[in-house]
Amino acid sequence: MLKLPRRKRSPAATNQENANNVATIDNDETAARTREVAEAKVVLCVSGMTCSACAVSVENSIKHLPGILDVAIDFLNDRAQIRYLPNLIDEDSIVKAIENAGFQATISKDSADHRSREVCRIRVNGMGCNSCSSMVESVLEEMYGVQKTHIALFKGEAEVHYDPKVVNSTQFIVAIQDIGFDALLITIGEHVSKIELKIDGMDNENSSTKVKESLESVVGIEDVDIDMGLTKVTISYKPDITGPRTFIEVIESIKSEHLKATIYPEKVGRENRKEKEIKQHYKYFLWSSALSVPVFLTSMVFMYIPGIKQILDIKVVNMMNVGHLIKWNLSTPVQFIIGSRFYIGSYKALRCGSANMDVLITLGTNAAYFYSVYIVLRSATSPAFDGTDFFETSSMLITFILLGKYLEILAKGKTSEAIAKLKHLAPETATLLTLDGHGNVISEVEISSELIQKNDVIKITPGAKVASDGIVVWGESHVNESMITGEAKPVAKRTGDKVIGGTMNENGVLHIKATHVGSESSLAQIVRLVESSQLAKAPIQKLADYISKYFVPLVILLSFLTWIAWFLAGKLHLYPKSWLPSSMDSFELALQFGISVMVIACPCALGLATPTAVMVGTGVGASQGVLIKGGQALEFAHKVSCIAFDKTGTLTIGKPVVVNVKLMDTIVLEELLELTAATEVNSEHPIAKAIVEYAKQFKEEHNPIWPEAQEFISIPGHGVEAIVRNKKVVVGNESLMMNNGIEILGETESFLVDAEGMAKTTVLVAVDRTVSGVIVVSDPLKPGAKEVISILKSMEVKSIMVTGDNWGTANSIAKEVGIETVIAEAKPQQKAEEVKNLQTAGHTVAMVGDGINDSPALVAADVGMAIGAGTDIAIEAADIVLMKNDLQDVITAIHLSRRTFARIRLNYIWALGYNLLAIPIAAGVLFPSTRFRLPPWIAGAAMAASSVSVVCSSLMLKKYKRPKKLDEIDIQMKGIIVQ
C-alpha cells in the first residue's frame, strides 16, 4: 500500500514547544492560550475497520495518549480525525498506537482527504506459480488508492480493497493486462448485486441501444453492459430497490422489438471456465505425449532393436541419420508450440524483474533442445562427428510437466468444493404468490429463484428448500437449518419467525416474505465470507513468499555451478573416463546434471503449501458451521492458550427461563401458573415473558386465552398486582410482599436463600394475601458447557470468565462450569483491557462473546469468536463465527485450526525437504559412489509430482473429524432430552 510521508517536527521546534509548556504550566489562563495556539489536527486513513467495534478499538487505542484532545472515527469511510497538542505527542506516535491495535494507518494529505472502501474481485488468467501472483500483487498494491490486495493463485483471483474516489476496477484490469495477464472483473462492491440475462431477438445495434436505454431508466440500476456476440446483458443493481423480474418485464415490453429475456445459463460461468481449463491442459498433455513418446522410443528403445536400428541409422547427410531427423521434427512442435506457455510465462516474469518456475523450465528445455540441434547440424556438416542429442530430454520434460499441471488443476478444483456446495444450496425454482389486500392468495406461479425480489411472498411446501431469506407470514413447520448453520435439530417456525434461504422445510406449508435477496442473503454472505477468507494469506505464507523471491535465481546459479563443476572435472580428468556413459562425453554429462538441477527444483510446491490447506480448512469449517475468516485467524487460533468467555448468551442461554416451581399452599400447580400468567401477560419484563411461556406448556392450545386481569398495576423493580377471577394476585420480590403486608414464612425464606445462593432469581406469588408459590427463574447454562471447559483444560487451554454481571452470579456460574478465574461487573472497554492484560502475560487470547456487546474485546483478542451470530455474520467484528450457537464449536475451531496448521507445516516440510534432497541428487552427489544419475526428463516428472503431492496433502483435511469427546457430549445431551 502506498504510504504518504509523515510530517516530522524539527528538534528545535520540539524543544521550543517543551520550553513553552514548562513556562506556562502554573498559569491556567496562559496554558489555555498556549493550548489554543499549539492545537493541531490530523486526518488519518485507517484500513482494517469493518464495523463500529473496530472504530471503538481505534478510538480507545489513542484517546488515552497524552495530548489527545478529541477523536472522531468514521469507520464507514476508514477515516479518523484527531485533535491533539503537538508539544505532548506527534503524528508518528498516534499512527503507531493505531497500528499496535491491529489496524493500518497512514496520514492523509489534507482534512478533505478520506477513504471510502470498495471491494472488487478480478479473475486473473495465466498465473502459473507464486512468483506470478507476487507480480500481480505488487503491481496492484503500488497503485495509489489501493488499501490491500489478496491474490489466490490456485483460484486465479484477486480481491482488491480500494478507495473508489481515487482508483477504479478498470484501472486494475489495465494494470494486470500491462504485465501480461488476462483480467476479467467478477464482482464489484458488497451492496450491489449483478445478474446476467440472455436476450433472444437482440440481433442488431438498434435493439441493443433500446435495451440499454430502457434498463438505464429503471431506478436502482447501477450499470448496464451488453455483449452483442453472446446476446447477453449484465446488470448491476441495488436489490433493495429493484430486481431481475423487473428487468425482464422492461426488456420484453420494448415496443417494435420481439425480445425474450431469461437468466443466462450458469454453465457459462466459473465452473465452465474451470472445465475448459482442465480440458485444455488435458489436450496439451495428449498432443505432447503423442509427439514425445516416439522421440523417447527412438532414443531409448528402438536403437536396441535389430532392423529398426538399421533404418534409423541410415545416413541422410554425412553423419546425420534418419533417427536425428525424426526426433528433431517431433520435438520441435513440442518445444515451441505446446511449450509456448512456458515462454510466455517466462517473458511476463522477466519483464517485471522476477523469475518463476517457467523460467527454469524454459532454460532447461532450451539448453537440451538447442544443444541437440547443434549436434544434428554438426553431424550434417562432418563426415566423422558422432555426438549424442537430448531431444527426448526437452520433449519428455515438457510432457511430464504438463501432466503434473493437469493433475494439479484437478486436485485444486477439489479444494473449493465447499463453496460449490454452498452455492448449490439455493433451490432452482420458487413458487411466487400474488395476494389481495386482505392477504388472500389470488394466484401462484413458479419462477426461477434468481428472479425473487425483495418483499415477494413465496410458498414453501414440505420437503422443499426455502428459496430466500425472509419472515414467515403464514403457516407453521419445522425447518432443518443444518446445511447453513450445521445444527442438525429442526427448528420450529411460526408467523413472525425468520427463515434462511437454502434450508429445508420439513412438514408444513409456509408463506414467507422475502427480506434479503441476491448478495444480501445469508447464503450469499456466507459464500462471500468463505471466498474472502480463502483469499486472505496466513502470516506464515510470508515465509514462502520470501523464499520464492530468491529461489529461482539461486537454482539457476546452482545449475550453472553444477555444469561448470562437472565440466571442469571432466576436462581436468578428476574422475576416471570409465565413469562416462557410452556415447557421451564430459560436456554432455555435465550438461545433463545442470539441466536436471534446473528442472527438479519446485518453487510451486512452496507457494501451494499454505493457501491450499487454508482453502480446504476454511471450507471444512464452513460445512460444520464454523466460519473462519482467513489464514490469519487460523494461524492465531492454533496458538490459543487462553479463552475469555462472556457469560450471558455465551456460557448461558441468554434469556431467563423457569427452572423450578415450589408450591407453598394447597393450590394446584396449573391454577397457580394460570393466575400468575394472567397477571404477568400484561408485563413486558423478560422474567414475566419467561413465566408466561412456561405456563403455556400446561395448556393444550398453542396460544391460550388467559383470564382477564383487572386493576393491573406494575411496580417497577418490584413486580405486578392484579385481580384475577376475583382473587388478589401479587407477583414479585420480597420487598413487594412486605409492602403489601404479606408474611413470608420460614420454609419459604429458607427456599429463597438456597435458590439465590445458586444465582437464581426467585419470584413470589401471593394469592389473597398468602404466599402460594415460588417460581425460580434462571439463565441456564448451555448444554455441554461444563464438558467444553473440561475438554479445553485437557487441550492445555486456560478458560476464564469476563462478564458485566454481578460477582455472585458470575462466581456461581463459573463454579458450575469449572472456571477458576472470574472477572465480573466489567464494562465493554474493561473486557478489552482484561484481554490485553492476558496478552501482556504471554497468552495468545481468544475471546468468545455474542459479537455485539463484546465487540471491543473481540477486536482486542488475538482471535475473536462470535457465537450465535445468525444471519448477521458478515458484519461481526470476530475472526471466527460459530453459527450454531453451540459452545462445542469453540473446540472445533481450535482443533480444526491445529489440524490445518499441522498440515501446513507438513506441506512445508515436504516442499522444502523435497528441494533440499532432490537438488543434490540431481547435481550428481550420488554419481561417484553409485553411478546413479537423474535424467532431466525424470527430474521434470519428480518436480511435477511434488506440486501435486502438496495439493493432495492439503486435500486430506477434507477427512477432518471433530474430537470424539464432542460426540460423547452430543450422546449425553440426547440422553437427557429423551429422559
Q: Name the grid cell of 513.
A: 416474505
Please give the Cα distance from 119 to 976 (Å, whole number).
Answer: 48
Query: DSSP readout, 612-665?
Result: HHHHHHHHHHHHTTEEE-SHHHHHHHTT--EEEEPIIIIIB-SS-EEEEEEE-S
Please give the Cα distance from 629 to 55 (Å, whole number).
Answer: 19
Q: Are 243 and 451 in contact (CB under 8 A)?
A: yes
Q: Does the annotation mark 646 as catalytic?
A: yes
**CA angle at residue 329 from 328 to 330, to 5 degrees?**
95
Tell me the Ramachandran region of residue 189: left when phi exceeds 0, alpha when psi lies from -120 to 50, beta otherwise.
left
Q: Are 440 and 234 in contact (CB under 8 A)?
A: no
Residue type, 349: A
Residue position matching grid coordinates 541419420 = 321
Residue position matching grid coordinates 485507517 = 46
Helix (H) or strand (E) holding 123: strand 118-125
Nearest to 834 by CA among 645, 647, 650: 645
Number of residues in the chain? 979
Nearest to 831 by CA among 108, 265, 56, 176: 56
Residue 78, C-beta contacts closer than 8 angstroms, at least 6 positions apart: 45, 46, 47, 49, 114, 115, 116, 117, 147, 163
Catalytic annotation, pick one of 646, 805, 850, 879: 646
**CA angle at residue 667 from 665 to 672, to 5 degrees?**
110
Backbone angles phi, psi at 155, to 5 degrees: -100, -15
Q: Name the grid cell of 868.
A: 450465535
Looking at the DSSP bridge assignments, the partners of residue 81 are 43, 72
Residue position matching grid coordinates 411472498 = 457
Please give the Cα distance from 510 to 913 (Å, whole number).
Answer: 59
The radius of gyration of the chain from alpha carbons, rounded to an integer in Å, stands at 36
State the CB neighbour count (10 A cutoff) for residue 415.
26
Q: Name the grid cell of 742.
A: 404479606
Q: Where are the beta strands (DSSP E) in 779-924?
A: 798-802, 821-823, 845-849, 863-867, 880-882
Please give the Cα distance from 892 to 534 (Å, whole number).
Answer: 19
Q: Name the grid cell of 800.
A: 476464564
Q: Are 79 and 54 in contact (CB under 8 A)?
A: no
For residue 507, give the DSSP letter.
S
Q: Are 480 and 421 in contact (CB under 8 A)?
A: no
Residue type, 395: S
Q: Are 201 and 156 in contact (CB under 8 A)?
A: no
Say if strands 441-448 and 491-493 run parallel, antiparallel, or are unpaired.
unpaired
Angle between helices 357-381 and 322-333 (to 10 degrees): 150
Residue 67, C-beta contacts closer than 8 angstroms, at least 6 positions apart: 84, 85, 86, 87, 88, 89
State the CB neighbour count (10 A cutoff) for residue 302.
17
Please give the Cα distance from 7 to 120 (Å, whole number).
Answer: 32
Residue position matching grid coordinates 389473597 = 768
CA 521 to chain centre: 17
Please give the Cα distance from 793 to 642 (Å, whole number).
Answer: 10
Q: Where are the beta strands (DSSP E) in 517-651?
A: 626-628, 642-645
Looking at the annotation, which residues are catalytic? 646
